[in-house]
Structure 1
Amino acid sequence: MGQKVNPVGFRTGVVRGWASRWYASKKEFAELLVEDHKVRHFIKNHPDNRYRTQYRSAGIDRIEIERTRDEVRVMLFVARPGLIIGKKGADVEKLQEELQSLIGRRVNLKIEEIATPGIMAQLVAEDIAQQLMKRANFRRTMKRALETTMDAGAKGIKVQLAGRLGGAEMARREKASAGSLPLSTLQAKIDYGFTEAQTPQGNLGIQVWVNQGSYAGDSTDGADAQAGQASKKPKRSYKR
């Protein structure tokens, strides 16, 4: 089952929280859901090319939204927050005003810095996409991504590319993995990221799974469990 479902959706509500946290009646639910989609799409694909490039370079991992009666709280988890905040906070204030005019509600924008961006699956996928759009070799790019993520502290990683790889006439899939990746284990902290690389030959789909450890902590790792087992050798009995 772990091969057929999204790891984030599989764990949401069990060991992982929702990206949108609010309550609404049946009449308002659809409208607010569309608003959440507009906010995320606007930030990821800003109409101004300068800001779009700036936000992509900042490394936005995820966008979480909370709603109250008075305002909409939008939290951006970013690898390089300085690119979004701008000089003296001018850029973040402009983005907040644009979001308010987009949805017609009061928006409270917060920027949170990611401590370890090297093990975030979405950021790894976007970095691979940037390399492929610069016409880098896809096998070398996948290998470099595996090594960089494992060196950053990940327990395991899997990368899958799909499309006309290397300019081939027929589309195919290539995958590479390193470390352990227990997709069906709910306690395993599996992060998932997806993006597309726009190349002259067509779009390439990029999927990344990263094992960030365990929600219960490192005490459940197999190495520790094996070290804690009792010795199988029988004890000697000495007679007097």
Structure 2
Amino acid sequence: MTHRVHPYIFRLGQITVWKSRWFNQKKFQEYLREDTLLRAWLERHLRQSHIESIEVERSPNTLHIIVKTSRPGILIGRGGEGAERLKDEIKKRIIKIWKQRGKLPDKREIKLTIEEVRFPETHAAIAAQMIVEDIERRISFRRALKQAIEKISASKDVKGVKIALKGRLDGAEMARYEWLKRGRIPLQTLRANVDYAEKRAETTYGTIGVKVWIYKGDVFEKKESKKT
């Protein structure tokens, strides 16, 4: 029997990096809890903004949150009003997280950076969110699958894509598993740049799980081709 390993974690230190970059031995548990709850809240709160990833960096006096999105204009707002509002909401959320344990957060500066993601359809998290939105709008799951496969495969950087759905598809009585694949997805190759994400669609007849794998070629081959 083999073990299923998250493709991103499997490649940590090889071609991927940690999404939380800090170390504090004394408050490791508190900071880890803060990161987890804050990231989960941001993903729910910014669901319509097509978030690719949320990264956290810490220094002794600063908490730096980096939000990568395909719709930066929605987050930033006119004259940066949206970004300032989001920053204030993050501060309130952090205080609430710490108060749940009867503590107060450390006094530190909070920095918020919003980065634009180019070619959003080639990022698994954004592609999965697009499929979730289609399913929640009651579009047929087969149509949503085919449209997503065509859109993702149209990019020249994508070498392979796989999309899987699980649940009461189209309101069926019994839950089932359906998937569609095009190209290669070499999950056991460390140098293979495989982007992976999973999302959940909330429907009137239950939840449907969405998983997306996108293979963008081998990282080492790209480096060698640049040298030559």
Counterpart in the other structure of 1:170: 174
Q: Would you say the 8 A contact 2:168–2:208 is kept in 1? A: yes
2:66 aligned with 1:83: no
Paired residues of 2:14 and 2:191 also in contact (CA < 8 A): no
Which residue matches 2:27?
Answer: 28
How does 1:105-144 map onto structure 2 within 5 Å? 105-144=108-147
CA distance 1:198–1:96, shift in 2 (3 Å): same
Within the candidate set 91, 102, 110, 2:93 is matched to: 102
Point out where structure 2 has 5 or more consecutive residues left out of the alignment. Answer: 95-104
Q: Is 1:70 matched up with 2:61? A: yes
**Matched residue, 2:99:** none
In structure 1, runs of 5+ residues without a counterpart are: 47-54, 222-240
Q: Scaled by the length of structure 2, what TM-score is found?
A: 0.88
Quick one: distance in 1 between partners of 2:2 and 2:87?
Answer: 38
SS of 1:136's equivalent? coil
1:88-147 Cα distance to aligned partner (Å, 9 max, x none):
001101111221233244210001111221110011111001000111111111011111
RMSD, aligned CA: 1.8
Q: Give the 5 Å matches for 1:199-238.
A: 199-218=203-222
The TM-score with structure 1 as length reference comes to 0.83
1:61 to 32, 52, 57: 52
Shift of 1:201: 1.1
Distance 1:211 1:3, change over 3 A: farther
> Contact between 1:100 and 1:106, CA under 8 Å: does it hold in 2?
no
SS of match in other structure, 2:220: coil
Q: Aligned partners of 2:37 and 2:170: how far apart in 1?
A: 34
Supply the AA of the counterpart residue of 1:200: T
2:145 equivalent to 1:149? no
For the Cα contact (< 8 Å) 1:3–1:183, is it kept in 2?
A: no
- Aligned residue identity for 2:4: K
CA distance in 1: counterparts of 2:190 and 2:127, whole angstroms = 22
Seq. identity, %: 37
CA distance in 2, matches of 1:182, 1:141: 24
* In structure 2, distance between residues paired with 1:106 and 1:94: 15
Q: CA deviation at 1:12?
A: 1.2
Of structures 1 and 2, the larger Rg is shown by 1
2-structure distance, mates of 1:38, 1:213: 33
Match of 1:50 in 2: none
CA distance in 1, matches of 2:224, 2:24: 39
